[in-house]
């Protein structure tokens, strides 16, 4: 896979600092190369429990359970997993649980896999139809502030928020033979 490799102090590290400052104590994720730096940093942080999921909707329930247990949690996933969460987002809407989802986009700029394209086109709309506020980040310089705002919106105003990181920010991916 040919992806953009981050350097110390890049936008991914700044996003992680916002997560840490936002007092997030649980980070659940479906493994994804686009989130690998955040996942690695979370596993290294003593104050954050990071754990993988088998499917994205489990993460919605995990975040709700964390909140009921007195902790803040966030969910990391790829845009192709958003469709798996639609039914579980009804729980968030009806019970007014705060939810923060950080979503790496696929099916956009320089996509090699045509199976990623349909969900990329539907991601924002599907989230908004389920009552989730959607923020999109195309500029790495804005990533940390958008995550900070999402954390505030979710944990101070009991909202569901998704931050979509554009595929251009993540870099070109390709199959290697």
- The tens digit of pLDDT for each residue in 82-135 reads 999 999 999 999 999 999 999 999 889 877 888 888 889 999 999 999 999 999
Angle between helices 82-95 and 56-68 (to 10 degrees): 30
Mean pLDDT, all residues of the chain: 91
Mean pLDDT of 8-27: 92
DSSP state of 70: T
Q: What mean pLDDT is predicted for residues 131-160?
A: 97
pLDDT of 2 = 32
pTM over 0.85: yes
11-170 sits in which CATH class?
alpha beta
Q: What are phi and psi of 158, to 5 degrees?
A: 50, 50
Structure-model confidence comparison of residues 166 and 5, the more confident one:
166
- State yes or no: pLDDT of 150 exceeds 50: yes
Cα distance between residue 165 and residue 101, in whole Å: 11
7 pLDDT higher than 60:
no
Question: In which residue are the tokens 């987002």 written?
Answer: 89
User: What's the pLDDT at 174?
Assistant: 65
What integer pLDDT is reported at residue 107 of this predicted model?
Answer: 82
| Inter-residue contact 123 to 152 (CB < 8 Å) | no
- pLDDT tier for residue 8 given thresholds of 50, 70 and 90: very low
Dihedral sign of CA atoms 17, 21, 27, 30 in order? negative
């Amino acid at each position: 896979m040919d992806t953009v490799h981050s350097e110390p102090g890049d936008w991914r590290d700044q996003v992680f600092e916002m997560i840490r400052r936002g007092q997030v104590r649980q980070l659940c994720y479906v493994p994804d190369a686009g989130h690998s730096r955040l996942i690695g940093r979370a596993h290294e942080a003593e104050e954050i429990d990071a754990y993988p999921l088998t499917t994205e909707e489990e993460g919605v329930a995990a975040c709700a359970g964390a909140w009921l247990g007195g902790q803040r949690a966030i969910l990391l996933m790829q845009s192709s997993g958003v469709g798996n969460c639609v039914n579980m987002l009804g729980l968030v809407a009806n019970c007014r649980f705060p939810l923060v989802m950080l979503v790496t986009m696929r099916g956009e700029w320089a996509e090699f896999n045509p199976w990623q394209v349909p969900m990329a086109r539907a991601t924002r709309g599907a989230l908004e139809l389920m009552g989730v506020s959607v923020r999109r980040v195309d500029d790495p310089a804005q990533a940390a502030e958008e995550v900070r705002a999402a954390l505030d919106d979710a944990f101070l105003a009991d909202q569901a928020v998704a931050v979509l990181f554009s595929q251009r920010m993540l870099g070109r991916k390709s199959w290697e033979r």
